[in-house]
Amino acid sequence: MSSPLLRLPRAPTPPPDHDAPPPPSQPVGLGFEGELAAGELGFNPNALSPLSASFPHKQTAAPGTVYTPASAANGQPTGASPAASGGLETPNPFNFQSIAYQPGKPPAKQNDVGRRRGHKYKHSSVSHQIFLEPAPRAPLQLPASLPIPTFKEYRSSMSKDQKLRLVWCFCHLVVASLVQWGARESLALTVLSRLIFYDALGAFLCVAVDVGSNFEVWKRSSIRHPFGFERLEVIAGLGMSVGLLFMGLDLISHGLTHALESSGGHQAHHADAHERVSPGSIDLAALSGIMSTLVSAILLKNHARIGKVMRLSAIANLPSLLSNPSHFLTLSCSTLLLLLPLLSIQMYVWLDRTLSFSVAFAMVALGWIQGWTLGKMLLMSYSGTGVSDVLYDLETDAAISTVEEAKFWQVHYGLCQANLRLRVRSLDDMGRLRDRINSMIRNRLGGGYGSGGQKWEVSTQITLEKG
């Protein structure tokens, strides 16, 4: 038999205290429940519910009402009264101003003073310290470019005198063809025909340059063509020099072929290999070469400009016509040909071959020297003499302490330039020193005033030596 459990009496519970304040509730989240509660913000979750019987009040703006930035201050659109809005003040998040529209009148433009349009690097605040405005300078006096004449304009600009010169050039070319046709197997006459042909090409070039001088673009400088078109004559002369060189090589090859055929005992390729040309044909060809060369040299100034550049010391003291290498070669060959009819057949063959080889080698040498000179001219260098004497006078001058740089170069047949950079001990007589340097260069290198030499443009930069 089990004994009943003994239950202890429970302690009495004290009555609740109605006067004590409730314990503070712990904040949840960020602690804005009281301020951002739905009831505080006026939010009704059942306003748009399909179960509700009515929709919320819709604010309707009065006619002519415009939302402007000024309406954001009072919370309602401009021109709307509290009665029109239903007595409710709805805040406006935009900052617009009302503008009265009038038909037929454009809207008033706002003041754009101080308003920035777009973005440019040079106007940015940082770029003011990086992109500096260049110093203003006077505009260049040279035109950007000059009109280049067409072939029709070039032909129509020829004067009567220039047309007559062109006709003579064709006559000169016909003389070269006739001499070549009557040469037969005479190597000396073949060489003479090549020389007359070369002179005819030079005459054509002289007429072309003369007609080109009718236009401004030929001599006037521009940004596109700093030295005009006068350097085209140098390029044409270089082409003629190469042609003269190859003509001389062809004559040497032709003469060696004939010499080997005669000395080897082989039968010649031509039946009239050793046939002697009639004395009348030789005299006529020689006189034609002399007359055509003199007419082209006197009337057309043939090879005159290139003759100023190439002054060979061996013939420099001869008269003006003979001091030109091209004229000297043609005239000497024509004069020696006049002696052929006076010789016997053996002497005729010997002199014919000797004269042809001599003139052919002279043509090769002249073409090489002339091409070398014109090539250096195209590369902007000076090949004349007297530069070392000018430099010696500059270095030994008492007013000049150091010659830092001295460059001499030739642009075309008629223009040379000298660029000097000097360091002097005093700047008192700077103007007088410039004049003395200019006159010394023009007298030493240009041949002096009135000599007809090249024109020299001297640019001198003078700095004071720091003591």
Q: Tokens at residue 452, please?
A: 């007809």
Tell me the longest C-alpha to C-alpha distance in the chain: 186
* pLDDT value of position 398: 84
Residue with the bigger pLDDT between 82 and 357: it is 357
Q: Is residue 5 part of a domain?
A: no
Exposed / middle / buried, residue 169 (Cβ in 10 Å: 0-12, 13-18, 19+)? buried
E strand residue ranges, 168-290: none
Contact 304, 210 (CB under 8 A): no
Sheet hosting strand 415-424, strand order edge to edge: 400-412, 415-424, 455-464
Domain end, chosen from 345, 378, 411, is at 378
* pLDDT value of position 211: 93
Query: How does strand 400-412 pair with strand 455-464?
Result: unpaired
Q: Tokens at residue 203, please?
A: 């005459």
Is pLDDT of 249 > 90?
Answer: yes
* pLDDT value of position 268: 47
Together in a domain, 184 and 281 = yes
**In the structure, what pLDDT confidence band is assigned to residue 55 with cuts at 50, 70 and 90?**
low
Residue with the bigger pLDDT between 389 and 449: it is 389
Together in a domain, 286 and 411 = no
* pLDDT value of position 271: 40
Together in a domain, 306 and 361 = yes
- Which amino acid, residue 273? A
Instruction: Please give the tally of structural domains in the chain.
Output: 2
* pLDDT value of position 136: 81
Query: How does strand 415-424 pair with strand 400-412?
Result: antiparallel
Q: Is residue 185 part of a domain?
A: yes
Helix, strand or coil, per DSSP, at residue 462: strand
Q: Is residue 19 part of a domain?
A: no
Together in a domain, 156 and 289 = yes
The torsion of the CA quartet 111, 114, 119, 120, rounded to 10 degrees, works out to 130
Q: Is residue 198 part of a domain?
A: yes
Is pLDDT of 308 > 50?
Answer: yes
- Report how far residue 171's alpha carbon sits from residue 203's, in angstroms, rounded to the nearest whole number: 11
Domain end, chosen from 352, 378, 404, is at 378
* pLDDT value of position 102: 75
Average pLDDT rounded to a whole number, residues 365-392: 89
Q: What is the CATH number of the domain that holds 460?
A: 3.30.70.1350
- Report how far residue 151's alpha carbon sits from residue 92's, in angstroms, rounded to the nearest whole number: 79
Residue with the bigger pLDDT between 59 and 148: it is 148
- Report how far residue 411's alpha carbon sits from residue 414's, in angstroms, rounded to the nearest whole number: 8
Together in a domain, 337 and 412 = no
φ, ψ at 423 (rounded to 5°) = -120, 120
Q: Is residue 262 part of a domain?
A: yes
The predicted-structure confidence for 92-126, as pLDDT tens digits, reads as follows 666 667 777 777 776 666 555 555 555 555 555 55
Together in a domain, 333 and 429 = no
Q: Tokens at residue 466, please?
A: 């720091």
Q: Tokens at residue 443, please?
A: 């007298």
Together in a domain, 196 and 249 = yes
Exposed / middle / buried, residue 294 (Cβ in 10 Å: 0-12, 13-18, 19+)? middle
**Containing H/E element for 418?**
strand 415-424
Q: Tokens at residue 450, please?
A: 């009135």
Q: Tokens at residue 102, please?
A: 């009038």
The whole domain housing 232 covers 151-378
Together in a domain, 324 and 257 = yes
Together in a domain, 293 and 213 = yes
Query: How does strand 455-464 pair with strand 415-424?
Result: parallel
Q: What is the mean pLDDT of the chain?
A: 77
Of 121-130, 138-147, 255-264, 278-287, least confident by mean pLDDT is 121-130
* pLDDT value of position 449: 58
Q: Tokens at residue 32, please?
A: 């804005």
Q: Is residue 41 part of a domain?
A: no
- Report how far residue 349's alpha carbon sits from residue 340's, in angstroms, rounded to the nearest whole number: 9
Together in a domain, 210 and 302 = yes
Q: What is residue 106's DSSP assignment?
A: P
Domain end, chosen from 378, 402, 424, is at 378
Residues near 324 by beta carbon (within 8 Å), at least 6 away in sequence = 297, 303, 304, 307
Is pLDDT of 85 > 80?
Answer: no
Together in a domain, 277 and 301 = yes
Together in a domain, 396 and 372 = no
Q: Is residue 354 part of a domain?
A: yes
**In the structure, what pLDDT confidence band is assigned to residue 348 with cuts at 50, 70 and 90?**
confident
Of 48-52, 244-248, 437-441, least confident by mean pLDDT is 48-52
Percent of the chain past pLDDT 90, that is, above it, reads 26
- Report how far residue 186's alpha carbon sits from residue 196's, in angstroms, rounded to the nearest whole number: 16
Residue with the bigger pLDDT between 112 and 1: it is 112
Residue with the bigger pLDDT between 99 and 19: it is 99
Closest-CA residue to 459 (of 427, 426, 422): 422
Q: Is residue 50 part of a domain?
A: no
* pLDDT value of position 399: 84
- Which amino acid, residue 31? G
* pLDDT value of position 30: 54
